[in-house]
Each structure stands twice: as structure tokens, then as C-alpha cells.
Amino acid sequence: MGDVMSKAASWLQTLVVTTSALAVGLLGILYVYQEKLLYFPSMPGVSKLTTENPEGYRRPDEYGIDYEDVFIPCADGVKIHAWLMKQPQPKEVSTIVFFHGNAGNIGYRLPNAAKMFRHLECNILLVDYRGFGMSEGEPTERGLQLDAEGVLDYLHSRGASTVDSSKLILFGRSLGGAVAVYAATTRPKQIAGLILENTFLSISAMVDQVMPWLSHVKSVVLRLDWGNEGRIPLLTHPILFVAGERDELVPHTHMQRLHALAVKSTLRAWLPIPRGTHNDSWMRGGMDYFYTLKSFIGNVVGEPSSVDTKTGQVKTPTDMVDDEDFKEAPSHIPNMLDQQSLLFQRPAKKIDQDEL
């Protein structure tokens, strides 16, 4: 009997040691390789370089858009790639800095950017983070922050000869929203406003959502932050929050919370997309999506606007007509990218605005 108990104790001890070692090993892997879990510059079946993209996703001129192919230097010497899509009179209009989500290169955002370019009548700087597309380097949180700073430095120096740097609007979708919020917090005088679409409170809050089993050890393991929740309350800029109510990746409550935290914003606007998921809100929103963005930008930069600042009601512009002249992404492109079904659900032409 004693021999059996001894063997059982030995087996149990081995099991505990082995399990502990596996747990420590797993936590160590998560600590070291966090960037690989968040940033996806390349994926199976999706080209990394814009030059290797399918036809229609390689260059803005495939949509008849005049553009500059630029490489922007960052403070650490890394150069990032961007397309500056220019209106016929680029210094007379606003410029949107488009920070995309966490997967794939800027070419896969061309259908979205082309519609923005046409309907919002703005210049668009479509940016690939370091390690993405044709950009140099490897993606890290600090690296992407330097990318955002480099973009603003470029637009306020060399780019200022092409665009009006006093009319810069940061647009960020998902991860791009965190990049935009960081840039607005650290360079508040260099931008006029923000548009945030389906972004998150923080990486910590997302861990609670997608890896709840890590919640009790995340203070030890988690290095990445992207703390939008702490930065949003500091911003005084006008902010438009675009939220897909069926977002399957970031809980809808994250956007609701960020909107509520923007207590210092001089213009806090809310555009819900009833059937919008994480990546397709711009399509599910139909033309009302573009009506609202154009109206918001008009308010921010002092251009003629169709938003009633007292009621938040969006009046339909008579010169904005829907079109079907943009390409849908190839069916093999994963749902992680900003392309999905072209089925539209038109929400009410209204944004909610708080009187502060």
C-alpha cells in the first residue's frame, strides 16, 4: 500500500511540475511573441507587397485617381510607404490620413479609399505601417507610434507644399483607431479632428474578450497597451465615432464607452451602423456613411456642412450620388481585411451629438 501511495505522489508531483512548466512556457511564448499575435503584415493567400496584389488593388490610378507614391522617414530612420491621393485642387480641400486595421497592405483598402476620395472630396494619405506592404522595419507598438508621428511631420513639412496642413483629419479603423488616438494625444495641434471606426478600449480589454483565461496573469505577461481608454478623455478635438452594431471582433460596448469618455471633445458625434460588422461598416452603411463623414468634416474645417449642430440631423447632399464603379475584393481575401459583402443596410440619416 505504501509503495502505491509513493508512486501516486511521485506521479502527481511530476504532473504538477510538467503542467507548471508548460504554463510558464506558454506564458513566455505569449510574452515574447505578442507582436506576432496582433500584427499581420502578411498572411497565407494574401500578398504582402502592393505590387503583387490582384488587379485593382495595386495603385490608386487603377481608379483614375492622381496620386504620389511616397516614402516617409520616421524618427528612428525607418521609412514607411504611403499613397497621397490628390484632388484636382489639393490645397483647397481637407486631407484624411487613413490608418488601416491590423492585416494586409494599403492596396486592399483601395475600394474603400476610392469611395472616400470621390464622395468626401478630400485628399487621402493611405499609410502602411512599418513591416506592412512596401514599408521598412517590423511592427511594434512604439514603431507604429513613430510612424504616426512621422506622417504628421511629413504633412506639416514636405507635404505642406501639396496639401493644407491645417485641415488634417485622422481616420482610424480597428488598430488604426488606436494609432490615430495616439497621434492626436501627442500632436494635438497638428490635426483638426478624428474619425474612429470599430476600435477598442485597450489591448488589455481585448484580452479579456478573446483570451479570458489570461485575465488573471495579463499584468505579468502583457506588454502591448494601445490604451485608448486613457487617452480619449484628454482629447478636445471633434471626434466622430462610427460603430458597427454587429461587430464580431471588438465588442460594441467598447465604442460606446470610448464615446462616453470623450468628455472634452468640442464636437462628439455618433454614427451607428445597425448591420455593420468589424470590417464592413463602410459598406453596410451605404451612402449615409459617406453623407455623415462629409458633414462631420465640413463642421470640423469650417466648410459648408449638412449637419445641424443643434439636432445632429444629417441632411442628404443633393450632389452625392451612389456608384458601383469600384471593385469588390477577391473572394479569397480573409475577413480580417476591410472588404466584405456589398450588401448595404442604410441607417437613419442622423448622428447623435452631445452639447458640451
Least confident of 32-36, 90-94, 182-186, 263-267: 32-36
Rounded to whole angstroms, the Cα distance separating 190 from 74 reads 16
Q: Can you give the pLDDT at residue 71?
A: 98
The pLDDT value recorded for residue 146 is 99
Residue 334 in domain: yes
44-81 confidence digits (pLDDT tens): 888 999 999 999 999 999 999 999 999 999 999 999 99
The 8-class DSSP code of residue 127 comes to E
Out of 128, 147, 247, 288, the active site residue is: 247
Q: What is the pLDDT of residues 309-342, one digit of tens each?
A: 554 444 444 455 555 544 444 433 333 343 332 2
Q: Does residue 311 sit within a domain?
A: yes
Q: Is residue 11 in some structural domain?
A: no
Q: Report if residue 15 sits inside a domain.
A: no
Per-residue pLDDT tens digits for 144-203:
999 999 999 999 998 889 999 999 999 999 999 999 999 999 999 999 999 999 999 998
Single out the catalytic residue among 135, 165, 278, 280.
278
Average pLDDT, the chain: 82
Q: What CATH number should be reported for the domain holding residue 303?
A: 3.40.50.1820
Is residue 24 a part of any domain in this protein?
no
Q: Is 174 a catalytic residue?
A: yes
DSSP string, 289-312: HHHHHHHHHHHHHT----B-TTT-
| Annotation marks residue 247 as catalytic | yes
Among 165, 174, 295, 306, which one carries the catalytic annotation? 174
Residue 4 within any structural domain of the chain: no
Residue 328 CB partners (closer than 8 Å, separation 6+): 111, 339, 342
Look at residue 23 and tell me if it is in a domain: no
Count up the domains in the chain and report the number.
1
Whether 38 and 224 have beta carbons less than 8 Å apart is answered as: yes
pLDDT at position 19 is 52
Q: Which residue segment(s) compose the domain that 305 sits in? A: 33-354
Angle among Cα 274, 275, 281 to the nearest 5 degrees reads 95
For the question of residue 278 being annotated catalytic, the response is yes
Q: Is residue 27 part of a domain?
A: no
